[in-house]
Chain A
Amino acid sequence: MNNPLRAAGLGWAASTSVFLFVIILTCADAFAQIAVRGRRVHTMAGVSIENGVVVVRDGKIAAVGLATQVTIPEGFRILDAAVVTPGLIDAHSTVGLTGIFNQPHDSDQIERSAPIQPELRAIDAYNAREPLIEWVRGFGVTTLHTGHAPGELISGQTIIVKTAGDSVEAALVKDAAAVAATLGPQAMKQEKGQSPGTRGKQLAMLREQIVKAEEYQQKLQKAEPDKKPDRDLKLETLGRVLKGELPLMVTAQRAQDISGVLRLAKEFNFKVWLDGAAESYLLINEIKASGFPVIAHPPMMRAFGELENASFETAAKLKKAGISVALQSGYESYVPKTRVVLFEAAVAAANGLSFEEALGLITLDAARILGIADRVGSIEAGKNADLALFDGDPFEYTTHCTGTIVNGNLVSDKPN
């Protein structure tokens, strides 16, 4: 009905065939057909491949294997790299809501007007053209779990995006990935008379809201259509957490705050992603029993305040205990405005983890925790063609990321 060709008077058959031709052209343009040859390919699905090839067709991985066994189709653009890994996944960032200038106009990661605002949606605040996205993309990062930052009791929702695309819609992988919460001093008010001002009050306020959300759900189910309660986006969102549709991602660094999260989750039976978790190594058994994954703080995050006991070995200790763990770039209020998960995983690799274990923290393990492992996180046929190319060991500071491929497109080829 809105077809301009038909409006221009062309017949049905002609307009359809021209239309199809346009679609084919557009696809060819959007998805470069690429083959990546790597002296070593870390697929994260089985052992790494020496002298491997990854064939990328129409935005997806078409084939991966030994160079001697995988044929590169004619006309495909060939890229060479010393090391090829899956596109890197930053399991918790605020980039896109956080901006490079750190000024009010580009700082949307935290809303200070109230301590509990689960209704704030990251999709409404994500700036797909933020320069920091291009920066992390230059280190091989292809997927970001980003959104409202730690700093309020419940600061808002998060989303999962790819690091390419000029709008949030183009970049979006998953809207409403989690609801972000914070326990401990970071989410306490200093002003007299403002709440929460203590840990006891933080938990009391969370319980109060959760109980309200439970009651709201019950009223919604019972009431006659005309007696339904007014729509309440805050309680609706918390209801999704209680129904298990969304995890509550709780930033808690001190052991006592991590214990608080576990207690609350047990009491109300909801799903948690433990975030930051600087002292999680003190609660290995309790966390393992909970079954909750840990999105651990960046090892290089400044060790002061509630992170004063942070350890470079946290990820190693959690992983060795069989706990699901991923690494994040975290949130920085000052410089550097974002960290880079590649560098953080490098520190983990130098402190108790093997190369592939450390790489897992920013690829497949992260994808599994975020619930997107069917699409990203490893180099397997059928998955999104998200790849990172390096001219050496990716964890060496002197190595460059020579190419980043998102959905089959080479989106970054100038090394940072």
Chain B
Amino acid sequence: MRIKSWAALCTILTGCAVQGQVNVQAFVGAKIIPIAGSEIERGTLIVSGDRILTVGPVDAVAIPAGANRIDVSGKVLMPGLVDTHNHIGGIGGADSSAPIQPEIRIYDSLNVLDSGFRRAVAGGLTTLNIMPGSGHLLSGQTVYVKLRGGKSVEDLMIRDADGKPMGGLKMANGTNSIREKPFPGTRGKSAALVREKFIKAVEYRDKVAAAKGDAEKIPARDLGLEALVEVLEGKRIVHHHTHRHDDIMTVLRFAKEFNFRVVLHHVSEGWKVADEIAKAGVPCSIIVVDSPGGKLEAVNLVFKTGAVLEKAGVRVAYHTDDWITDSRFFFRSAALGVRAGMSRAGALKALTLAGAEMMDLGGRIGSLEPGKDADFVVLSGDPLSTYSKVEQTWVEGKKVFDRSDPKDHLHAVGGYGAGNDQTPYLCCAEQEEAAE
């Protein structure tokens, strides 16, 4: 594990016994929506270094001596948003040579200076699952990042206890991955190709196990199958693009067959098979867009998906799918969910803790609780209101966006010079254009 500062080391080694050396900040007076627990009308959030020390009502939280007191009266403070499905950074995952490419690591293609990252913090996003596209059955490994700022993807990576960068595996079914050869031409063929690959991974895993470290018997190293073995062992979550109800059922069938952990993404027709999804215990990361259609399998995409899934007992998160929806409008997704009957608490959780849990990060981020990372946003008003603005975004105790700074304001509202460094990824738009 890389230790960035003595302050961080202090926090880890001593639990901050020597708090005097750590930057302690007290955010006082805001309405606090901690996600874990009910909303606090006038609260205080104490941040020590990069972690949350305390959160509670103003009159119940003592501000430590020497703390930097920041008055946020009249504002709304809540956890930084967690986006389980995002494509910013000029990414390029699997290429057109094959439909299944688990060896691709999306972090090898990220331009972290891309203006998409500036727009993301302007929208209050602090944690992203950056994924390759959906034009493949399996387009590569995803990466979980924190929007800390920085000049290389290493600065942004979220690492596990062993110091390994965390991420999932991107898969897709339905029409996006049905293309000309060598891609499949039908759903049946799509499923057959995936099954074949997973069986190879099972055999690879068993051969490695049977070799018991014997260099003579161990199979030649296969980086793609290694990633799939991580999936089979439950160490890597499959993030699966799927729209139509029958495609959703196909994913559930695979997850059962090979016993892997999966998050369903988009799930446009999830409202048709909500009970089946609930029974399988599989969480859903969903999207809302301004109108249904645009492609055949999104014709039944509706605002009520979140509400229907919530009522069926499915864990629900929202995602931006940025560039499909702009990260600056992520709060709007939850508001449209509430419009169609989702609970306020469920919708706000779907922007934060629910997504964190779908990335195995529920213990570190997604709610304002002592010991969690100090990732939060300061809003001018209610999170579900059109008129509210993200005024500040904080990641691990550091301010990464301030609307009052003209440079940040430019990316928050747009204007000359707000443009991108690289052509963005937009799955299948070119295909659809070509089909016209």
- Chain B contacts for A21, CB-based, 8 A: none
Of B141-149, B323-331, B354-362, which stretch is located at the interface? B323-331
Interface pair B298/A282, CB less than 8 Å apart: no
Q: Which residues of A contact B338 (CB under 8 A)?
A: 397-398
**Do B296 and A334 have beta carbons less than 8 Å apart?**
no
Contact check, A303 vs B414: say whether CB atoms are below 8 A apart: yes
The residue from B115, B290, B299, B413 contacting A312, defined by CB atoms under 8 A apart: B413
CA separation between A104 and B299, bound complex, in Å?
A: 15
A304, B416: Cβ atoms under 8 Å? no
A107 touches which of B290, B332, B436 (Cβ 8 Å):
B436
Contact with A along B107-123 (1 / 0, CB 8 A): 00000000100010000
A338 and B435 form a contact (CB under 8 A): no
Among B292, B294, B323, B418, find the residue whose CB has the most chain A CB atoms closer than 10 A. B294
Produce 1/0 per residue, A298-318, CB < 8 A to B: 001011110011111100000
Q: Please, how many angstroms separate the alpha-carbon atoms of A248 and B293 in the complex?
A: 30
> Which of A300, A311, A335 is B413 in contact with, Cβ under 8 Å?
A311
| Contacts A101-B299, A400-B339 given; does A313 touch B291 at CB 8 Å | no
B296 / chain A contacts, CB cutoff of 8 Å: 101-103
Cβ-closest chain B residue relative to A112: B436
Q: Are B415 and A302 in contact (CB under 8 A)?
A: no
Determine whether the beta carbon of A398 is less than 8 Å from that of B326. no
Query: Interface code A263-283, partner B: CB below 8 Å = 1, 0 otherwise?
Result: 000000000000000010110
Q: Are A397 and B339 interface neighbours, CB within 8 A? A: yes
Query: Does A169 belong to the interface (CB within 8 Å)?
Result: no
Report yes or no: A396 in contact with B291, Cβ–Cβ below 8 A: no
Binds B, one of A157-165, A191-199, A342-350: A342-350
Inter-chain contact A332/B294, CB cutoff 8 Å:
yes
Interface string of A78-112 (1 = CB under 8 A from B): 00000000000000000000011111100100101
Q: Which of B285-341 contact A (CB under 8 A)?
A: 289-296, 298-299, 301, 303, 323-324, 326, 329, 332, 335-336, 338-339
Give every chain A residue within 8 A of B404 (Cβ-Cβ). none
The residue from A102, A304, A311, A396 contacting B385, defined by CB atoms under 8 A apart: A396
The smallest beta-carbon distance between B145 and chain A, in angstroms, is 20
A290 at the A/B interface (Cβ < 8 Å)? Answer: no
Indicate if the CB atoms of A334 and B295 lie closer than 8 Å.
Answer: yes
Stretch in B206-214, B255-263, B426-434 touching the partner: B426-434
Q: Are A281 and B415 closer than 8 Å at their CB atoms? A: yes
Of the listed residues B414, B433, B435, the one surrounded by the most CB atoms of chain A closer than 10 A to its CB is B414
Let me know if A104 and B435 touch, CB within 8 A: yes
User: A135-B291, A336-B289 in contact; A104/B436 too (CB < 8 A)?
Assistant: yes
B58 interface contact, C-beta 8 A: no
- A100 contact set on B, CB distance < 8 A: 291-294, 299
Report Cα–Cα, A336/B424, bound state, in Å.
17
Closest-by-CB residue of B relative to A342 is B290
CA distance A316 to B366 in the complex (A): 36
CA–CA, A139 to B424, complex, Å? 31
Bound: A313/B412 CA distance, A: 11
**Complex interface residues of chain A between 53 and 90 (CB less than 8 A to chain B):** none
Bound CA–CA A303/B436 (angstroms) = 23
Known: A302-B326, A308-B418, A396-B385. A132 touches B293 (CB 8 A): yes
Question: Which of A309, A335, A350 lies in contact with B416, CB distance below 8 A?
Answer: A309
Q: Which residue of A107, A309, A335, A339 has the most chain B CB atoms within 10 A of its CB atom?
A: A335
For residue B296, which residue of chain A has the nearest CB? A101
A269 to B7 alpha-carbon distance, docked (Å): 69
Q: What is the distance, in angstroms, from A327's C-beta to the closest C-beta of chain B? A: 14
A17 on the B face (CB < 8 A): no
Cβ-closest chain A residue relative to B336: A397
Residue in contact with B326 in the complex, picked from A103, A300, A311, A400, CB distance below 8 Å: A300
Q: Smallest Cβ distance from B151 to chain A, in angstroms? A: 22
Q: In the docked arrangement, what's the CA distance between A333 and B296, Å?
A: 13
Number of A residues whose C-beta is below 8 Å from B? 49
Q: How far is the CA of A349 from the CA of B387 in the complex (A)?
A: 8
The chain A residue with its CB closest to the CB of B344 is: A398
The verdict on B419 contacting chain A, using a C-beta distance below 8 Å, is yes
Instruction: Give the complex CA separation of A131 and B301 in angstroms.
Output: 13
In the complex, chain B residues whose CB is within 8 Å of the CB of A335: 289, 293-295, 298, 301, 324
Q: Kindly identify which residue among B294, B335, B418, B433 contacts A303, using a CB–CB cutoff of 8 Å.
A: B418
Would you call B420 and A304 a contact (CB within 8 A)?
yes
Identify the interface centre among A136, A303, A309: most chain B CB within 10 Å of its CB: A303
Mask, A131-147, CB within 8 Å of B = 1, is 11001100000000000
Distance between Cα atoms of A104 and B436 in the complex (Å): 6
Interface SS of B by simple majority: loop
Cα of A332 to Cα of B289 in the assembled complex, Å = 12
Do residues B323 and A302 form an inter-chain contact, with CB atoms below 8 A? yes
Residue from B335, B416, B426 in contact with A397 in the complex, judged by beta carbons closer than 8 Å? B335
Q: Out of A101, A112, A300, name the residue touching B329 (CB < 8 Å).
A: A300
A281 to B414, CA, bound (A): 11
Give the CA-CA distance A104 to B433 in the complex, in Å. Answer: 10
A398 and B339 form a contact (CB under 8 A):
yes
What CA separation (Å) do A110 and B432 show in the bound complex?
A: 13
Query: B435 — nearest CB in chain A belongs to which residue?
Result: A104
Contact between A334 and B339 (Cβ–Cβ < 8 Å)? no
Most A CB contacts (10 A, CB to CB) among B323, B387, B389 go to: B387
Given A300-B326, A397-B339, A398-B384, A337 contacting B436 (CB threshold 8 A): no
Contacts A104-B436, A312-B413, A333-B432 given; does A395 touch B386 at CB 8 Å: yes
Assembled-state Cα–Cα distance A400/B335 (Å)? 12
B90 to chain A, nearest CB (A): 10
Chain A proximity of B117: nearest CB distance (Å): 13
CB distance from B131 to the nearest CB of A (A): 17
List B contacts of A279 (CB < 8 A).
416
A416 contacts B by Cβ under 8 Å: yes
A416 in contact with B435 given A300-B329, A335-B295, A397-B335 (CB within 8 Å): no
How far apart are the CA atoms of A132 and B115 in the complex, in Å? Answer: 33
A351 within 8 A of B: yes
With A335-B293, A397-B386, A398-B338 in contact, is A351–B413 under 8 Å at CB?
yes
Give the B-binding residues of A (Cβ under 8 A).
Answer: 99-104, 107, 110, 112, 131-132, 135-136, 279, 281-282, 300, 302-305, 308-313, 332-340, 343, 346-347, 349-351, 395-400, 416
Give 8 nearest A-B pairs by CB, closest first.
Answer: A308-B419, A335-B294, A100-B293, A397-B335, A311-B414, A336-B290, A337-B294, A336-B289
Binding site for A on B (CB under 8 A): 115, 119, 289-296, 298-299, 301, 303, 323-324, 326, 329, 332, 335-336, 338-339, 384-387, 389, 413-420, 423-424, 426, 428-429, 432-433, 435-436
In the assembled complex, 21 residue pairs joining A and B whose CB atoms fall closer than 8 Å, in A order, are A99-B293, A101-B295, A101-B299, A102-B432, A103-B296, A104-B436, A281-B416, A282-B416, A303-B419, A304-B420, A309-B415, A309-B417, A310-B418, A334-B295, A337-B293, A338-B291, A339-B291, A346-B386, A395-B386, A395-B387, A398-B335
